[in-house]
A and B are shown apart, each in its own frame.
Chain A
Amino acid sequence: MKRKHFGSILADKTVYILLSVSILGFILYPYLSIFIQSFQEQGIAFSAFIRQDAVLLQHSLFIAILTMVLTVFMSLTLAIFFVFLKSKWQKPLRLFLLVTMVSPPFVTSLAYITLFGRRGMITHDLLNLTFNPYGAHGIILMETLSFTSLNALVLIGMLHQLEPAVINSARSLGAKSDAVIRDMILPLLRPGVIVVALISFIRSLADFQTPTIIGGSYRVLASEGYFAVISAGDLHRAALINFTLCIPALLGFFLYIHYEHTMTTQHHGLSSDTNALPLPKKGWFFPVTCCLAVIFYGALLLQYGSILINAVTVKNMGQLTFSWQPLLDSRMYLDGTILRTVSYALVAGFVGSLISFLIIYYSQIRQSRWMNLIELIGTFPYILPGTFFGLGYLYAFSGQYFHLTNLSIIVIINVTFKQVAFATKAAKAAVAQVEPTYFKTVHDLGGTVLNEWHDVFFPMTRQGFALTFLNGFISTMTTIGSIIFLIRPGQKVMTIVMFDVVQRGEYQIASVIACLIILICLIMAGLVFGILGLKQRRWLHVSRS
């Protein structure tokens, strides 16, 4: 009995210390390194940099503000369009939006060039136009198209959380569709709208891929930071650029925290189990949102359709014909890369989820204040631009104490710890569903901490764990920002290869890789949901018998 307890206490303390050390070492230390070393390094001062490169800041703010406005408008339009739809229509349309979540972030730019570039299918082949797609307009358009899906999903999710009886009450009092939207839905979505506006603003500021691919001569801070490392090897300049990006990102984050809290607390009163009917398709909101939604979904169809066509066709005498050639050509770029990427994603997904769930175990179930602090440190990669995190790793792990940057393990560590931010949030939601008395019961019946984990914590949060793993897997499969500076030749992952070939103008190879990434993510999602569905059915069977 005593030996059992000793083993459990030892395991408990070891896990606690490992969690603390790993978060401090792989999240806090890189950020501290970049802060300390970049100010100690010789080079241009921060104030001088701001004066000298004010135009970069102006460009970045211009792009971010316009993208934010357009993205909010489009995502709100889509969310409003959904209130007119029955759930049988909502499901496939939501699923389509989800596809954009399982593709690399610069897929939109790839499609844009394929369709509207100088040799684009639409502008060149179909309309014989000479259209210059590069510049600020291209960046804004592509970022808007890329960010709208996620934002719309956030707002649609929020719509589903609105108390249906509130909408039904308004209708019962005589409010028609337009009045319900104007008086109920828009005011109640306001915190969500502010959150998605901030997310878009921060994402646009940090996005270096879109401006690099289609910015042309239009330079912004994020792309300049990327070129500073890749082309000039000027880490100091890259650090200053990332600092500049961090300021609005941090401001945005604090506003985000405030409004996210409002988002979760404004759901007021008791919830009912009734469903709100789709609103009658009357008034002016319906035709307007319907038209814009058709355009948006058309653009998405065009985007993914063009990538698919590009991946399985070749141009022969000006005609597109089906061919496996792009796939065969991509083999030389993907030699070993697919296996490596999937392995990284599997490890990062699983380990990242495990770390996050254990942090939440200590912070929520055991109510450890120190783990609350660890959890907060874990959210840093969520707040700050991905390239900043990658740059931090360069500073932290290429010095005289730790020299890990030429090992592939550093990439795995980076993608694993980068997702702790989101995974802890998901873990918190999953753990909140478990009645705390279960944990007490284990001890009451003579169990130990190990029994708590084995018999209650992990079995009861299994579904949340699986979904967190899936999210980690997909985010690793599609990530680029935090690892772009850490990848060595011969250790590349699929997104990096894709980014390279896009920059070289090999759009067909890029399309093949984009399709493969999407396919792998969808297969994994299918597997996870399939297993979850099976398990659920077994539970149902058990509960029925």
Chain B
Amino acid sequence: MFLEVKDLTKVYQQKNVLHQLSFGVETGEMLVVLGPSGCGKSTLLSCLNGFTQVTSGTVRLLGQEITKAMPEDRDITTVFQSYSLFPHMNVLQNLMYGLKFQKIGKKAAKAKAIKMLQLLQMTEYQTARIQDLSGGQQQRIALGRSLIVAPKLLLLDEPFSNLDEKLRLSMRLELRRLQKELGITMVFVTHDQQEAFAIADRILVMDAGKIQQIATGAELYNQPKNKFVLTFIGEANQLANTAYVRPECIDLRLDTNGQGQIIQKIFQGATINYQVKLPTQTFWITRLNRGAAFEVGDLVTLTYQVQQMEGK
């Protein structure tokens, strides 16, 4: 295993922030840590990069224990949520900064930095001041500054959360491209499901400091392990016990003798959401917007196949 985390626990002011987390990351893999705010995902990242001391448990990188190593002594770099570029250095100086600790000469470091700028498609910004870059450009330089030192592991703490929607989409593609090109193992923290689905090889879902499930995006969606994962990832109509049905998995048919009645209709563009009231419960149903639509008050019949979670 490339990165191995075992029984990682962090207690802060008598509060268990992380509960005995155990997981691994394979070489070249992109693991996304997904969870709501305050679930402990940033603390987990902080334990991996060494800025937070763990209470118990171990972290191994390529078999070597690094649990107590100083951040500067780990072969791990981090891209922080705030861009944290050095304001008193220009773009090139920012990129070259980490190389001086690898005893790389100035000339060679500059050549590497220029190559990185090419990779980032920002060659014309060599001498630009950080203050003159846009948010997206700053984030790219922050990413390049971490990548240039060729770390064994790159950690990213919600790096795109401060960018607008369009830029975020293009940065996801950019990151995926760079990861594939450079073959770097990454752990990416986010609270955005779409972001997680778009870039992850596997997703680690966290809540209240505990791992709820680790799986691919499709597995998480189609086979949620428990109620938290079911409700956190996508929408679901919960039935008795562990049974559930996703809104898009319900077939809706107009039926004057049907037991269901549409009580709400929400237009979403590509899809339309309907709320249907049955004698026993209410369902949400998602249908593609393909012309003929149902109206509030229509009587309908629902057809669906019940799915089961592993546990509650």
Contact = CB atoms under 8 A, between A and B. Distances in A.
Interface residues of B, number: 31
Interface of B: 42, 46, 49, 51, 70-72, 76-78, 80-88, 97-98, 101-102, 130-131, 138, 142, 145-146, 149, 162
A2 B78 CA distance: 63
A270 interface: yes
Nearest to A168: B51
A183 B97 contact: yes
Contact of A268 (B46, B130, B142): B130
A344 to B, nearest CB: 45
A176 B72 contact: yes
B46 A274 contact: yes
Given A168-B71, A268-B130, A270-B162, A173 B77 contact: yes
A175 B86 contact: no
A268 B87 contact: yes
19 contacts: A163-B82, A165-B80, A165-B82, A165-B84, A166-B84, A168-B71, A171-B70, A174-B72, A174-B149, A179-B101, A188-B87, A188-B88, A266-B88, A267-B87, A269-B82, A269-B138, A272-B82, A274-B46, A277-B51
Contacts of A233: none
A319 interface: no
A179 B145 CA distance: 17
B72 A172 contact: yes
Interface of A: 163, 165-166, 168-176, 179, 183-184, 187-188, 266-272, 274, 277, 280
Interface SS majority for chain A: loop
B17 to A, nearest CB: 14
Contact of B146 (A172, A176, A280): A172
A324 B72 CA distance: 58
A174 B138 CA distance: 21
A176 B74 CA distance: 12
Contacts of B76: 172
Contact of B83 (A171, A172, A174, A269): A269
Contacts of B86: 166, 169-170, 183-184
Given A187-B88, A266-B87, A269-B138, 4 more contacts: A165-B81, A267-B87, A268-B87, A268-B130
B149 A168 contact: no
B266 to A, nearest CB: 31
A175 B146 CA distance: 13
B185 to A, nearest CB: 16
A168 B80 contact: yes
Contact of A269 (B85, B97, B149): B85
A179 B103 CA distance: 13
Nearest to B158: A272
A183 B97 CA distance: 9
A129 B66 CA distance: 58
B221 to A, nearest CB: 31
A188 B77 CA distance: 22
A272 B80 contact: yes
B97 to A, nearest CB: 6
B97 A274 contact: no
